Amino acid sequence: MTMQRSSRDGDDVRTRLTAWLATVLPEGADPAVVLHSSVQENGLSSETVLLDATWTEGGEQRAGQYVARVAPAVEDLPVFEQYALQDQYDAIRLVGERTDVPVPQVRWMEPTGEVLGTPFFLMDRIDGLVPRDVLPYNFGDNWLFDASPEDQRRLQDSTVQVLADLHAIPDAANTFAFLDPAYDGATALARNLARVRSWYEFAVPDIGRSPIAERGLAWLEANLPATSEAVLCWGDARIGNVLYRDFEPVGVLDWEMATVGPREMDVSWIVFAHQVFESITGMLELPGMPHFMREEDVVASYQRATGTTLDPLDWYHVYNGVEWCIVFMRTGARQIHFGEIDRPEDLETLFHHKPLFESVLAKVGG
């Protein structure tokens, strides 16, 4: 199963990338580009294009393997309200400079949109295995599901360590100030919540309003935690955005949701994302992976790695539940746009996590 993300023509993209590389490489480079298929098994937002490039530099033949992260075209119903490709580029670059977190080496940025119609950047391609999203890894018959419990736990703990290392970057509020949402709010968390409210309203015209998302937003706004913490948050902190070798991270990807805010945002997201997939296997009566990414285990590992004590994650689970609603609203609208599904009478039938979200809301009285 795949979901269409783009209406771009592959041959046209290759021609345009080749001409553009000739402008950023040394004179006389005469580049050639081989375009591979876009990544379709993971990620639902930015377009990801794999390419090989060869060129001449200093009289020698050079070659590189790259990934192009391309902001989606407006007519293709993008998931997010805004795509700040320069911010993503700078976040990856700064993380690479300030930590040992394995992020790709970013190469060239095209900020104008004049080449492909929207901005993009190129980064080095990293070889590794990714826990798949489609069909989710916990459905079975894949390398992570079939691994030993010890290797699964090694992957879990090493990924939690990535969060700990990111959150340890000093003075993140200033270093990553460009990621602080440009919305009203006295704290970074309040500004992030205002951004989510705006994102929801952005999604409504193409698909309709969601009662459960609005319940969640109302509860969040009425129960905003009194924290001013602002660490670097990866944002889309889940194993489907990591390349692994021998169950250890070798590439931390997908920075379009990066922000500054409380550390609980990332810790909750990595737990909640797995719970979303687990709720689907439960409905399908599949065994799933209930022993994996359990909240108590993730929290304990994180607190050991950082020496900090996390606040309860309930508020952040509701926050993430709302964000997943919006993602499903946008991906559903896009599937309708591309003729992959019919418009449902009840848009919340698109919310694969709805039973999970209802249980989270019931727990907090929302």
Of 90, 165, 236, 254, the catalytic one is 236
- Our CA dihedral for 18, 24, 30, 35, rounded to 10 degrees, sits at -30
Cis peptide bond N-terminal to 135, omega within 30: yes
Instruction: State both tokens at 125.
Output: 């391609």
Cα–Cα distance between 316 and 319 in angstroms, integer?
Answer: 5
Cβ neighbourhood burial of 294 (10 Å; 0-12, 13-18, 19+) = middle
- Our CA dihedral for 109, 111, 115, 118, rounded to 10 degrees, sits at 120
Q: Is 236 a catalytic residue?
A: yes
Catalytic residues: 236
